[in-house]
Amino acid sequence: MTYPEKIDTLLEADWIVPVEPAGTVLRHHAIAIDEGIIKAIAPGEQARAQFNPREHITLDQHVLIPGLVNLHTHAAMSLMRGLADDLPLMEWLNKHIWPAENRHVDTNFVFDGTRLACAEMLQGGITCFNDMYFYPGAAAEAALTTGIRASIGMIVIDFPSAYASDTDDYLTKGLAVRDKYRQHPRLSFCFAPHAPYTVNDKAFAKILTYAEQLNLPIHIHLHETLDEIRIGLETTGIRPIERLQQLDLLSPNLIGVHMVHLTDREISLMSQQGCSVAHCPSSNLKLANGLAPVAEMLNQGINVGLGTDSAASNNRLDMLEEMRIAALLAKTQSGHAHALTAHQALHMATLAGARALGLDQIIGSLVVGKAADITALDFSNINLTPCYDLISHLVYTVGREHVNHVWVDGKMLLKDKQLTTLDTTELHHRATFWQQRIGTTGN
């Protein structure tokens, strides 16, 4: 006699959208989870006969999708949400954000701000985020206490800060954080030079050497604004992407963030070199940076993921909203209603982001052998009826208010809309503390 296999969790739902194979929608299926890994995806009746779970969860009128991957953010800046709105990027940075950071950012700020961001992201179905900020060790600790998955950016910038004094200091401290946490299964790392206008050639050369030795991504703001390109032309005589090409930085390990102002040649070059792009539509709109040519990038086979940017420039960490806006903007810009379909938008918010981070064998789709990073969306709400195309609904209709449950590595971090690892009252107190401190000392 064959006995059912013991596992940790059997998760049943009315629908599963695994992302791989593309366009697949499974009806009345179950996901078997053991030790944080997807063991099987099968029809519910078959799964109930095959497995003996310690926990059996049935979610009627719910859709299960892969956890969303936020490919670009500065998580701790959630504590600066709304600090200096309605300003262009360079004025926003130079006159408000950077001065506030110089006065207030330390390990406590980053720990508190990152936990606040993690709470918002989990409540919106995000299970992995790619970060770029000072004190990456504090961000790593915040992610670990939360249970979320994170790619921790080892930031490099030319000017000194309270965190580091120069390029070598930034790199040394970043690599020390990586060495400390590199064995943790939910943490990965990338190099995070801020932007071409804040990082010199010598620093880029060192970053490239380390990135090649360690096989880590390089995550950088690139061609975000016309000012950035103007500064590049004035200081180097060439556009930033051409400069990075000359420095041998364009490769499958490069994640170009924003990528708004591109020539046809630059799009082709990024495609030829296998680079990835982190598209941040809400931030681009709010800072009036322009519309990224996403349809053209996708047509040339560039791997394009989605990011929220920080809550200081968005002002939400809402990947479901980013999916919708990205799809709508691509249609408007290209003049084609079929540009950036719902299927493509969901892929960008999940598997494309995972691929950019080198994590696509672990997350980004619901496939046997991958981590059980799963988001459950409640489709019982009257505002979601009728539903003719489930994936279309996920992109154009669903909001983060419909996120009901979230798992990372098979552990439930959001249950019936309630966070299981974070105390929201304590987070609110910490956020109020920082608001009062920043507000009373000026920004």
pLDDT number for residue 441:
52
What was the pLDDT predicted at 88? 83
Q: What is the pTM of this model?
A: 0.97
Residue 36 has pLDDT above 70, yes or no: yes
pLDDT at position 440, please? 64
* Separation of alpha carbons 276 and 273, rounded Å: 9
Confirm if 371 and 411 have CB atoms less than 8 A apart. no
d(Cα 409, Cα 430) in Å, to the nearest integer? 28
- Residue 224 CA, chain-centre distance (Å), reads 17
Q: What was the pLDDT predicted at 3? A: 83
Give the separation between CA 8 and CA 372, rounded to whole angstroms. Answer: 11
Dist. CA 132–CA 297, nearest whole Å: 24
Q: 2 falls in which pLDDT band (50, 70, 90)?
A: confident
User: 408: which 2 tokens?
Assistant: 């990372």
What proportion of the chain, given as a percentage, has pLDDT over 90?
A: 94
pLDDT score recorded for residue 48: 97
What is the average per-residue pLDDT within 95-113? 94
> What's the sign of the alpha-carbon dihedral 377, 383, 389, 394?
negative
- Distance from C-alpha of 66 to C-alpha of 26, rounded to nearest angstrom: 13
Give the model's confidence band at 90: pLDDT under 50 very low, under 70 low, under 90 confident, else very high: confident
Condensed to tens digits (0 to 9), the pLDDT of residues 324-380 reads: 999 999 999 999 999 999 999 999 999 999 999 999 999 999 999 999 999 999 999
Question: Whole-angstrom Cα distance, residue 138 to residue 150?
Answer: 12
If you ran DSSP here, which 8-state letter would residue 349 be given?
I
Is the pLDDT score of 300 beyond 70?
A: yes
**What is the rounded average pLDDT of the residues 102-109?**
95
Q: pLDDT tens digits for 234-288?
A: 999 999 999 999 999 999 999 999 999 999 999 999 999 999 999 999 999 999 9
For residue 432, with 0-12 CB atoms within 10 Å meaning exposed, 13-18 middle and 19 or more buried, which class applies?
exposed
Region of poorest pLDDT, from 96-105, 164-173, 221-230: 96-105
| Residue 50 amino acid letter | Q
pLDDT band with cut points at 50, 70 and 90 for residue 81: very high
Q: What percent of the chain has pLDDT over 70?
A: 99
Report residue 87's pLDDT band, with 50, 70 and 90 as the boundaries: confident
410 Rama class: left (phi>0) / alpha (psi -120 to 50) / beta: left
All structural domains of the chain, each given as residue ranges with its CATH number in brackets, are 5-66+374-408 (2.30.40.10), 68-356 (3.20.20.140)
From the number of C-beta atoms within 10 Å of its C-beta (0-12, 13-18, 19+), residue 340 rates as buried
* Band of pLDDT at residue 98, cut at 50, 70 and 90: confident
Spatial contact of 398 and 370, defined as CB atoms under 8 Å apart:
no
Confidence check: pLDDT of 310 > 70: yes
- Reference 350, options 200, 49, 125, 185; nearest CA is 125
Give residue 347's pLDDT.
98
* pLDDT of 233 strictly over 90: yes
Residues 6+ apart with CB under 8 A from 238: 232, 246
User: What H or E segment, with its residue span, contains residue 424?
Assistant: helix 424-441
Cα distance between residue 50 and residue 30, in whole Å: 11
In terms of Cβ atoms closer than 10 Å to its own Cβ (0-12, 13-18, 19+), residue 333 is middle
Looking at residue 93, its pLDDT comes to 84
What is the per-residue pLDDT across 122-179, written as a single tens digit (0 to 9) for each? 999 999 999 999 999 999 999 999 999 999 999 999 999 999 999 999 999 999 999 9
Rg for the chain (alpha carbons), in Å?
Answer: 21
The reported pLDDT for the residue numbered 243 is 98
